[in-house]
Structure 1
Amino acid sequence: MAIEKTIITCPAPATSHLERFGFLFGYPIAHSLSPLLHRTIYQNLGLNWDYFLLPSTDIKAFLELVRDPRCYGSSVTMPHKIAIMPHLDDITPEGRAVGACNTIFKRGANLVGTNTDTIGVRESFVQNVADPQTTYANRPGLVVGGGGAARSAVYALHAFLGCKTIYLVNRDASEVEGVMSWCKSQGYGQGLVHVATAAQAEELEGAGAVVACVPNFPPATEAEVEARKIIEIFLGKQHKGAILEMCYHPTPYTEIGELAEKAGWQVILGTEAMLYQGFEQDRFWTGKSLEELPIKVTKEVIGVELAKARH
């Protein structure tokens, strides 16, 4: 007998006083900085808009809320990034290629899904690396992890940063195979290399752009220890590039980030990816260009919040 999953729902927020509104749909999401990010943008643009957390697993109720004509769209996070896709009217090419939706925007009355995580990865490097030619251009990329974030990272490294070869490192070989199979099916997996052992890593050319997509915890199992050794070997190679550490909760200062910094790499905090994927969302929702958005003040506000978490 199948056990039914309990659907978690939450009351709809009060929106009658607003011109427009949106959501972050996921569960659990209490720690998210997204409301602070988007509210700061709307306030600085003088918009009577708001953005609400919707901690829920009730897709049907969510779709009713998001189809309100005043709703501009929604962010989508775990566990809904894949599950939401069949319920949408259209998916952008980026969303299809990654196989996950983290953003919904409106095209007329239609709900369109896209993936701005790829833009978050791209802009983290573009906005923070002073000299791409000597840092990561014409060099292999490296992605640590095996989930949806890893697919977004592979797509960004391939499509935007021009990495023809991308190494994959993860404690779970089956997850790597899943990422490789998916990316190949979507036409951007030809240059993927699963680096499974430290000995293999020793023989390979150094990476230029690294994206770490794993939680921040010390390696415990044999597979985790081996994966960490592989990372340390790449960080220890002669060429020093830039690493984006996607983990930023509860703190963006991670073990892998510390290892990279000590090895002489430029470390880009995961909050940069969070910020730039959010700015891309607001480009869809407000129709404004990146240059028209209050980037500087929003970064400052998020920075203050992160400083609290560090202490």
Structure 2
Amino acid sequence: MDILHRSYEYGRSPLASSPQVSIPRNAFLFGGNISQSLSPLLHGILFKPMSAPIAYHLCQTTEGNTFLEYLRDPTTIGASITMPNKVTFGPLLDDLTEEAQAIGAVNTVFSRIDAVGKRRWIGTNTDCVGIREAILQHNPSSVAIAKDKPVMVIGGGGAARSAIYAMWKWFSPSEIYVVNRLESEVDEIIEFFSSSIPGIRIRYIPDVDSAQKLPSPSIIVGTIPDYPPSTLEESVCWQICEKIIGHADGGVLVDMCYMPSPETRLLNVAMKAGWDVIRGTEVLVRVCVAQQVLWLEREAREEGVKEAVAAIVPKSGARL
């Protein structure tokens, strides 16, 4: 995985130079409301075939000092960060990768020993890697299909920024449509990325009429909660999505939402329209894989990845 090789610029993992590889280590998830997180289940499955004595813990906090206290523990090997800490915890770290800087959010922290033997904590964003890997594993030809064609992202939050980065960085689209209930959020995204990724092309779609006049996207990434529209702006956003999905000849649609169920309204609409769909649970598995690659400085074992995906397949038996 390319993120592993690029992480070497910050040094090597403490595990690489430690002869005591059997010493139990710890990784943590820091967030504000994480009691229902699937990450402990997935990381437990992925750690097993790696023979890694690492325990994964939930730490429900938004306090930066608590976060730093856990990082100072010599048994801590890495961390996951979720809302509302993805922006606020980044400045507390020793360095940020290209992805974290370009997206403006951190969801993964890994440690490296620098040239003078100091342990440093590096923040990165593996949400974008999870999106990329889920699409490529599902449909390896997606890069060729998307090249020089428009793609679309639904939403205006942190997950949308990760999706925009992933699309532009690895799929070479002609431009990125953004559908969102608030134009002001998209304006902020355009302003941010114009600075962090010069030359990126992002277009806000304000209404159904505008959507009908545009070429169809080849890939769509949804990043919004799976709730029925409750405002006029949300209703318009949903109508735009329905029109674009129904008008296109199909493509790949990823919905990053998987709570309360991975069988979202967006996925059901896309499946009925003939789109090839990828559930948010598969993106989550790929995010966890990328995190462990950085923490252990080893590529994941395929049997663990398959078991993790199987563990969260919907009970209906639908394919992830």
Is the pair's TM-score, using the shorter chain for normalization, greater than 0.5?
A: yes
Select which of 73, 79, 85 maps to 2:90.
85
Q: Does the CA-based 8 Å contact 1:136-1:241 persist in structure 2?
A: no
The TM-score with structure 2 as length reference comes to 0.86
1:151 aligns with 2:161: yes
Deviation at 1:31, TM superposition (A): 0.9
Match of 1:10 in 2: none
Select which of 262, 274, 289 maps to 2:284.
274
Match of 2:60 in 1: 55
Deviation at 1:293, TM superposition (A): 6.9
Match of 1:11 in 2: none
Deviation at 1:266, TM superposition (A): 0.9
1:98 aligns with 2:108: no
Between the aligned partners of 1:72 and 1:44, the Cα distance in structure 2 is 18
Which amino acid is 2:29 matched to? L
Q: Does the CA-based 8 Å contact 2:48-2:304 persist in structure 1?
A: no
Which amino acid is 2:257 matched to? C
Between the aligned partners of 1:91 and 1:293, the Cα distance in structure 2 is 31
Match of 2:249 in 1: 239
Deviation at 1:137, TM superposition (A): 3.5
Deviation at 1:133, TM superposition (A): 6.2
Select which of 199, 210, 224 maps to 2:209.
199
Range that drifts further, 290-299 or 244-253: 290-299
Deviation at 1:46, TM superposition (A): 1.9
Between the aligned partners of 1:18 and 1:302, the Cα distance in structure 2 is 30
Deviation at 1:21, TM superposition (A): 0.8
Q: 1:54-92, CA deviations, whole angstroms, 9 ceiling, x for partnerless residues?
A: 011222022111221211110000110000011100000
Between the aligned partners of 1:275 and 1:123, the Cα distance in structure 2 is 10
Between the aligned partners of 2:302 and 2:283, the Cα distance in structure 1 is 19
Between the aligned partners of 1:113 and 1:152, the Cα distance in structure 2 is 14
Match of 1:222 in 2: 232
Distance change in 2, residues 1:161/1:133 (3 Å): closer
Match of 1:166 in 2: 176
Between the aligned partners of 2:301 and 2:173, the Cα distance in structure 1 is 27
1:209 aligns with 2:219: yes
Between the aligned partners of 1:193 and 1:300, the Cα distance in structure 2 is 37
Between the aligned partners of 2:295 and 2:216, the Cα distance in structure 1 is 39
Between the aligned partners of 1:203 and 1:100, the Cα distance in structure 2 is 33
Q: 1:135-188, CA deviations, whole angstroms, 9 ceiling, x for partnerless residues?
A: 434321100000111110000000011113000000111111111111111015
Select which of 127, 131, 142 maps to 1:132.
142
The TM-score with structure 1 as length reference comes to 0.89
Q: Which runs of 5+ in 1 are unaligned?
A: 1-16
Range that drifts further, 184-193 or 154-163: 184-193
Match of 2:7 in 1: none
Select which of 28, 34, 44 maps to 1:39.
44
SS at match of 1:160: helix
Which amino acid is 2:28 matched to? F
Range that drifts further, 215-224 or 186-195: 186-195
Match of 1:65 in 2: 70
Q: Does the CA-based 8 Å contact 2:147-2:174 persist in structure 1?
A: no
Between the aligned partners of 2:57 and 2:123, the Cα distance in structure 1 is 19
Q: Does the CA-based 8 Å contact 2:168-2:200 persist in structure 1?
A: no
Between the aligned partners of 1:18 and 1:33, the Cα distance in structure 2 is 25
1:285 aligns with 2:295: yes
Deviation at 1:41, TM superposition (A): 1.6
Deviation at 1:233, TM superposition (A): 1.5
1:19 aligns with 2:27: no
Between the aligned partners of 2:233 and 2:66, the Cα distance in structure 1 is 41
Distance change in 2, residues 1:188/1:140 (3 Å): farther
Which amino acid is 1:29 matched to? I
SS at match of 1:193: strand
Between the aligned partners of 2:25 and 2:160, the Cα distance in structure 1 is 33
Match of 2:11 in 1: none
Deviation at 1:239, TM superposition (A): 2.4
* Seq. identity, %: 36
Distance change in 2, residues 1:188/1:38 (3 Å): farther
SS at match of 1:216: coil
Q: 1:177-234, CA deviations, whole angstroms, 9 ceiling, x for partnerless residues?
A: 1111111110156310000011000100000010001001112321111111111111
Q: Which runs of 5+ in 2 are unaligned?
A: 1-21, 114-118
Between the aligned partners of 1:118 and 1:134, the Cα distance in structure 2 is 19
Range that drifts further, 19-28 or 235-244: 235-244
Between the aligned partners of 1:223 and 1:298, the Cα distance in structure 2 is 37
Which amino acid is 2:234 matched to? E
| Aligned-residue CA RMSD (Å) | 1.9
